[in-house]
Structure formats: C-alpha cells, structure tokens
Amino acid sequence: MNDKELTQLAFKLKDKNLKIAFAESITGGMLVSEFIKAKGTSDVLLGSIVTYAEEVKQKLLGVKKQTLKLYTAESQQVTNEMVMGLYKLLKAEVCVAVTGLCGVGASESSEKPVGSVFFSILFLQRVEEYREVFDGDSTAIRKKAADFIFQKLEETIDRHYAHS
C-alpha cells in the first residue's frame, strides 16, 4: 500500500476508535515501519513487537514451547499464539501477528514451501487466519506480506462496519 492508502487505513481505525498492535516475525519490523509513514498513526498505533527468535516468541508473547516443537515457528498455530499473547500484553482492539518462511533452512517442505506466510488478525476479540504463498526474494516476500496484511485490515474494517 502507498502512504495515501495507509493514511486512509489509519483514519478508518481512528474513526472507529480502534487501536492497533503488531507482533512481527518474518516481517522484522516492516509492518510498523510502513504503517508509520501514514498520517494519523500516532492516534491508533500502540506498537510492534519483533519476535524473530523462538525464545523471544515464548518470553514476550507466551508462545508455548510445545507448540513450537509440534508445528514449528513458521506455522498458523504459532501465529495464533503470538496474536493472543500480543492482545494480553497491549489490549489493542486490532492485533496482527505474522510468521513465515522467506528463505531455505527453516521448516520448509513440499506442503510449506519458501514464501509461505501465516497471518492472524484479532479484530474485536475474534481471530481470522490467513495463509499465503508469495514468490520472489526475501525482500519481495516481506513486502507482499505487509501489503497483504494492510489490505486484509482494510477489508476487515469495511466488512465489520458495513452497516453502521
């Protein structure tokens, strides 16, 4: 999304009196870095926690060691625990968590190729899950993941408030 579109997203959040927070792994801070380019983010953004290492996911967000062992750090299950841990910490009405694979050497497989990204968006205490596979190098995968999240956030707000 460009700065104008991100500003529209920030104002939609503000208009609905919604605060937002991010728990980032694969994006490494890109979500918050992109979002703060928009006008109005100081009114809605609580913060972002980059939890790249498994032990940080556990310590800061309460991701269970067993979940990491069973499903790997790059999984929907871990992303769901990240988003719930973020909510417990910051109590934002909108919490976003993202993990995934942007290079070889992690948990990639034929079912979960490089480019697989897992998203959890907690919106007013209800979690929506997404899994996408993006192509390109690691920078392209991260950028596509960030754009996907911002698009889904806008769609979620529009869908939720369609009748208000």
Half-sphere exposure in the Cβ direction for 65 (13 Å, CA): 2
Question: How much is the mean pLDDT over the chain?
Answer: 94
79 falls within a domain: yes
Is 18 inside a domain boundary? yes
Count of domains observed in the chain: 1
Domain containing 115 equals 3-156
Give residue 164's pLDDT band: very low, low, confident or very high (50, 70, 90): low
Is residue 162 in a domain?
no
- Domain of residue 104, CATH code: 3.90.950.20
**CA dihedral (140, 156, 46, 57) positive or negative:** negative
In a domain, 111, yes or no: yes
Residue 34 pLDDT level (bands cut at 50, 70, 90): very high
Domain-embedded: residue 53? yes
Assigned domain for 56 exists: yes
pTM: 0.94
In a domain, 164, yes or no: no
Torsion sign across C-alpha atoms 93, 128, 9, 15 = negative
When pLDDT is averaged across residues 112-135 and rounded to a whole number, the result is: 95
Task: Please indicate, yes or no, if residue 37 is contained in any of the structural domains.
Answer: yes
What is the pairing mode between strands 116-123 and 94-100? antiparallel
For the ranges 22-36, 71-85, 103-117, the lowest mean pLDDT is seen at 103-117
Q: Which stretch of 8-12, 28-32, 108-112 has the lowest confidence by average pLDDT?
A: 108-112
Q: What is the pLDDT of residue 138?
A: 94
